[in-house]
Structure 1
Amino acid sequence: MANAMAKANPVHDLVVVGAGPYGLSVAAHAAAHGLDPVTFGRPMESWHAMPSGMYLKSEPWASHLSDPAGAYGLDAYAAGQGVRAEHGVPLPVSFFAGYGDWFARQAVPAVDERLITSVAPAPEGFLLTAEDGAPLRARTVALAVGVLPFLEVPGPLRHLPRRYATHSSHHGELGGFAGRDVTVVGAGQAALETAALLAEAGAAAVRIVARADRLNWNTLPPALDRGPWPTLRAPHTGLGCGWRNKLYADTPGVFRRLPSATRARLFDSALGPAGAWWLRERFGAVTDVRLGHRITAAEVTGDDRVRLDVEGPGGAGVLETDHVVAATGFVPSLDRAGVLDPALRSALRTSGPIGAPVTGALFESSWPGLFLAGLLTAPSYGPAMRFVFGAGYTAGRLVRGVRLRLRAGGRGGAVGRPRSGGRPAPVGA
């Protein structure tokens, strides 16, 4: 009986939680190293849910998912679709989502579309629970849950029902706002593109409210081949041109070794809010832009609208709107990683003012066997981890950490148990 139960519920070497760009890249590297990973999640789900009029902000050559041989890049998919993935030509988000689906079929051996609702410590590593209640056991776990668990909504809006206030990531097509008055909060790409799409979808009025005192716009990227001197002055990187961006793009491991306070400051300031160069003309349809303003209070009025109290350069004021969309980004606080069992979450080491998890040299958390990928690692590894581009740096190193952890645990030892008398020690620390 015991043998039958063990066969029905085997202990997997690696379970990848999340099937976005980072999760699929980790799974591809793990499969190439013979680990037979099991990946849970609906491939590219959040990307498929974006409005159809959205485009990638990153260049095609900086938007590859990662496999060890580099055989399944975005350029390979585009060629198979008869599409030219060119520098300086934005690609639709829907095309990128299709690329992720293709990558999963080519490079990832097993994707289970159930969501994982809980990851808890267990004697042999971890006990995971799927959305249908089924238990799963794993020696190691790679948590690659994307950005949606970490969405940020300004405090004055958090009490409003979703009928009146949402985050930009909540929306697919925006045609439902036709004829309505919508206020978008934020000054980054998500805010500016959402506002432009709302105007194109027939919203009666669209306005931007932002704390920033100006809108920043990226410029048209220079040609890839532009001669030695211009290249030396401002080299191309997957995060934009310039030496500072090159350091962020090429040396996340160096970023991790900076003092905690320096990392926190750079995480807050590096690659700040800016709109893509190709969006600027479309954004011209949005004429009500209120910069240097912050919302101090919000309430639903008797006529079914939202009253916003705002403070700006001219003092306090009031505006009314039908709906508020907060395009205010994501905060990778460990407290928001609700998939982690509370006892496990509280045992992890954190740093910085937002309580981000400490991540080791091979992307292992302070709990042995629990590895992190994507936005949760950005406070440790820098701005590259906020973008698809960072998957290339992450996947191979994380899988190396998994392999070391499995060897350390003997593929059957207590991988997930911390050392007695102190914090767990990540491999490769």
Structure 2
Amino acid sequence: MLTFVAAVSTGFPAQAQNDRATTTVDYTVRVNDTLYDLASYYLTDPGCWTVLKKLNRVADPKHLQPNSTLRIPLALLKQSLLAARAIAVSGSVERTLGQGPFLPLNFDAALTEGDHVRTGPNSFATIQLSDGSHVTLHANTTILIKHLRATVLNGIVDRQFELNQGEVETKVTPLKPQDRYNIISPSVIAGVRGTEFRVVYGDGAGAGNTAVEVLEGKVAAQGPNAPPVLVPQQFGVISDSAGNVGAPIQMLPAPSLAEPGQVQKGLQIVFEIAAMPEARAYRATIATDAGFLHIVNEIRAESPRALFDDMPSGSYFVRLSAIDRNGIEGLSQIYSFRRARPSEASAAATRTANFEFRWTEDAHAGAGAGAQQTYRFVLATNSQLHDPMLDQTALAGTRLVLSDLKPGKYFWSVAAAVSPNNGESHEKPASIRSFTVGQ
């Protein structure tokens, strides 16, 4: 078994169980605490107060010294289930309710630990987690939500997804040191502290192989009998079915679109991609929003020409990337485009071009009980977001539509407002994304 983990990860599955059994968390005793009360509040079995007594050499379980420290085994602590929901569904997507049959997955449906989710051909889904992290399933993908829980005492989060087949891309908000976020395939565990990466099992990576491609942050790749291999940002690795890890490979740069301003009026949608000598294939992905939460179509092309069948008229974004000879997908570039079906081409000439932006909710940003989470949206023509053309604060939703942007390259970000602890509110750090509007 090959493991992709952050430096503080728990390692292989069997090792993770052992680590959990031996790991302890510290608790600072407060006035009037007793071992009986602590066991009742925080332990899965209140009778395990005897374990705490022995471990901490407590003389009197009813009289604890305030401000002293108790060690509590992590494996004994209560855990609460965390929330997840489908924020985008396109095509044929199904889920199980625990051990039940597969049923259609609807938009905004709640998901929980133990559910399977699977996508059919040319079908996609994005699952949002409670802290704003999200997982996007590409076509022909099946995952199991294995763990989705938090420890009651200290809020340590454990999220694990099993990738049985296909591909997922995920963006993880920064985690606390003991938090765990893993995506597990039959030959890999991909674990991070807060990053953006893709995991592909089979197909494009090769039968039985797993590819991990890091877009932001870094990941350590570890085989069963080898030291970790650090995979930095904009690098990828491929493991074979036996868990042998190749050296990190730098991802190809993003390809460009030959005619970015072209309105797609034909029976088919055609993207002419500037050829790259190092590429063996190209990928074109279409979404309704600039953040690619709602993907609606995708194709892998063996030549620098991507052809899509008919799609409804409207405003879209296309994301282009190149795949190298090793099977590692490279960096991407995003373009907006307009689709006008042949029967509607004349009307489309006068139609306003819209640009949709979507982002995930962040229930952990600290909006406060009963308060609505707000966000700040910034759009600029430079990557530092200096002198923005739009800086809108106190947005209450997770969607914004702009109209008639001039040709050029744009950079944007969305930051969640964090409730003040000392009278001064602030924002969570946000990634900066970009797209191009063609001439």
TM class, shorter-length? under 0.3
Higher relative contact order (CA closer than 8 Å, sequence separation 6+): 1
| Higher helix fraction (1 or 2) | 1
Structure possessing the higher radius of gyration over alpha carbons: 2
Q: TM-score, normalised by structure 2?
A: 0.24
| Higher strand fraction (1 or 2) | 2
